[in-house]
Chain A
Amino acid sequence: MVTNITSFGRSGLSDWLMQRASAVIMALYTVFIVAFLLFNPNLDYYAWSGLFNQTWMRIFSLLAFIALAAHAWVGLWTVTTDYLKSTRLRVGAQSVIILGIFVYLVWGIQILWGA
């Protein structure tokens, strides 16, 4: 039995499902943002902050941020277990990555609700 303790969901199946689900959420978010920018060629601060003042947009954005965090954790965990063979180096890199993801996520929430 192959075990792991630093992967996102502790199971390959849940990590795989999470990576696919988060990819769909990020794709939808990207399409929405690109479409919004295309349909608002003369975008100003008021229109942009007006968009992010709406609750549904904050929920959608937070969902995309969480999806990005989960996606990055699963993906980068995979990269570290492929290429970093020294345990010390691998655990160190994984810690930095997880910490970084956490910081970005909290920062993102602060930006969403702080404006």
Chain B
Amino acid sequence: MSNLQVSIYRYNPETDSAPYMQEFQVDTKGRDVMVLDVLHMMKEQDSALAFRRSCREGVCGSDGMNMNGKNGLACITPLSDVVKNNKLTLRPLPGLPVIRDMVVDMGLFYKQYERIQPYLKNDTPAPAIERLQSPEERDKLDGLYECILCACCSTACPSFWWNPEKFVGPAGLLQSYRFLADSRDTATSERLSDLEDPFSVFRCRGIMNCVAVCPKGLNPTRAIGKIREMLLAEAT
């Protein structure tokens, strides 16, 4: 069994004038391990290699990266899913500024998340115990609340690449709809009026890259369609 050929993006702004691709030979002993395991094997060869990881089981969303051209979480992506001809190319999430190697600056991504006010807003007096929801009302949040903010979707979206300061991006819009659809939230009109400009929601051209890469199997395009329907219902 020949070694896995890994080509990985390297950039240390303190020493490198430009980013470059570094080649590694990794012996996986023929096992179908996860891409994150391969990264750890590479870090044993070169301890300066920088990448983010935490839970290593697809819950924390730290190790989103571009593997052979497709975004995903390294910790839950087996080699058999991405490796072609025994070659693996690893790059940081596209479109975000690189801090070092695979570590990107998620500032713009979080700024768009902050903009949609991802918390319940309710102007009615708080009840003694809790705000209740019917099972049907709660069902509307399924497929929305599971997002772990790994940024795989937004950084696979050309609209987010070109206008990251103005277009909220699929991750932010999925969360936006999560609060628009919540029966306990009373700020629906206020939320919608912040979204009707030509960029925030409408820069989505429906190419569904977000749906194709989401490691949690969520559908931001559907949520964006629902936001459009709500905007249309409110304005016509």
Residue ranges of A at the interface with B (Cβ–Cβ < 8 Å): 1-4, 7, 11-13, 15-17, 77-78, 81-83
**Chain B residue, CB-CB nearest to A79:** B162
Q: Residue B166 contacts which of A2, A11, A78 (CB distance < 8 angstroms)?
A: A2
Tell me if B202 and A15 are in contact (CB < 8 A).
Answer: yes
> When A and B form their complex, what is the total count of cross-chain residue pairs whose Cβ atoms lie within 8 Å?
48
Residue of B whose beta carbon sits closest to that of A83: B162
Which of B163, B199, B232 neighbours the largest number of chain A CB atoms within 10 Å of its CB? B199
User: Smallest Cβ distance from A25 to chain B, in angstroms?
Assistant: 18
- Give the bracket for the number of chain B residues in contact with chain A: 20 to 34
Within the complex, what minimum Cβ distance (angstroms) separates A30 from chain B?
A: 21
Contacts A81-B163, A82-B159 hold; do A17 and B199 have CB atoms under 8 A apart? no
CB closest chain-B residue, reference A17: B232
Inter-subunit contact B235/A13 (CB<8 Å): yes
Nearest Cβ on chain B to A84's Cβ, whole angstroms = 10
Residues of A within 8 Å of B159, CB to CB, are: 82
Do A3 and B163 touch across chains, with their CB atoms under 8 A apart?
no
Chain B residues closer than 8 Å to A1, beta-carbon distance: 194, 197
Evaluate contact between A2 and B232: CB separation under 8 angstroms. Answer: no
Asked if B197 and A11 sit within 8 Å, CB to CB, the answer is: yes
Give B195's nearest chain A residue, CB to CB: A12
| Residue B76 at the chain A interface, CB threshold 8 Å | no
- By Cβ-Cβ distance, the 7 closest A-B pairs, closest first, are A12-B202, A12-B198, A82-B162, A2-B197, A2-B199, A13-B196, A7-B198
Known: A82-B163, A83-B162. A12 touches B194 (CB 8 A): no
Contact with A along B183-202 (1 / 0, CB 8 A): 00000000000111111111
**Residue ID in chain B nearest A77 by CB atoms:** B198
Bound-complex Cα distance A11 to B166 (A)? 14
B231 within 8 A of A: yes
Q: Is B216 an interface residue (CB 8 A)?
A: no
Bound-state Cα–Cα, A4 to B199, Å: 9
Sample of 8 A–B contacts (CB below 8 Å): A2-B166, A2-B197, A3-B197, A4-B198, A11-B197, A77-B198, A78-B205, A83-B162
Q: Is B70 an interface residue (CB 8 A)?
A: no
Task: State how many angstroms separate the Cβ of B180 from the closest Cβ of chain A.
Answer: 15
Known interface pairs A1-B194, A2-B200, A11-B197; A16-B162 also in contact (CB < 8 Å): no
Query: Contacts of A78 on B, CB cut-off 8 Å?
Result: 198, 203, 205
Q: Are A16 and B163 in contact (CB under 8 A)?
A: no
Q: How far is the CA of A58 from the CA of B194 in the complex (A)?
A: 41
Q: Whose C-beta in chain A lies nearest to the C-beta of B161?
A: A82
Q: Given A1-B194, A17-B232, does the pair A12, B162 have CB atoms closer than 8 Å? A: no
Q: Give chain A residues whose Cβ lies under 8 Å from the Cβ of B205.
A: 78
In the complex, whether B53 has a CB less than 8 A from a CB of chain A is no
Interface centre among B158, B162, B199, B202 (most CB of A within 10 A): B202
- What residues of chain A lie closer than 8 Å to B235, measured between beta carbons? 13
CA distance A99 to B197 in the complex (A): 24
